[in-house]
Amino acid sequence: HVQLVESGGGSVQAGGSLRLSCASSVYTFSRYCLGWFRQAPGKEREAVASIDSDGTDNGPVYYADSVKGRFTISKDIPESTVYLRMDNLKPEDTAMYYCAAVVTLSWWPGAWSRESEYEYWGQGTQVTVS
């Protein structure tokens, strides 16, 4: 059973920064595709970013258009942790942020952004931008 635990959320003023962390219990962390999703009140959960597996700390990365140039996803395999660095935050970034993981992501373009692709989910961490 894979456990994902998010942390690092909080309240910040517009233009500020936060770094979210997602610690995993999985032993073979390097094999997993890892994603960040968010859900604002009254809205559906949406994909934010994803980093696929190539066995190293690097890997193909994907971003939603709304966060490109402001958010950076990264991972630390020895620490079994994936990060989401968020800069130049905007009020519309306010949401609960969730970490997700799957061993094998489907090959088709855009698969990274589909909730149904991911098998494991964390409980979320709240980000509020005012």
- Both structure tokens of 36: 């960040």
- Both structure tokens of 89: 């935050």
Which residues have CB under 8 Å from 48's CB, separation 6+?
35, 36, 37, 38, 63, 64, 67, 71, 84, 97
Q: With bands split at pLDDT 50, 70 and 90, how would you rate the model's confidence at 67?
A: very high
More confident residue, 93 or 110: 93
For 95-122, write each residue's pLDDT tens digit: 999 999 999 888 888 999 999 999 999 9
In DSSP terms, 21 is beta-bridged to 7, 83
Give the side-chain half-sphere CA count within 13 A for 79.
11
Q: Can you tell me the distance from the alpha carbon of 4 to that of 124, in angstroms, rounded to the nearest whole number?
A: 9
pLDDT for residue 82 is more than 90: yes
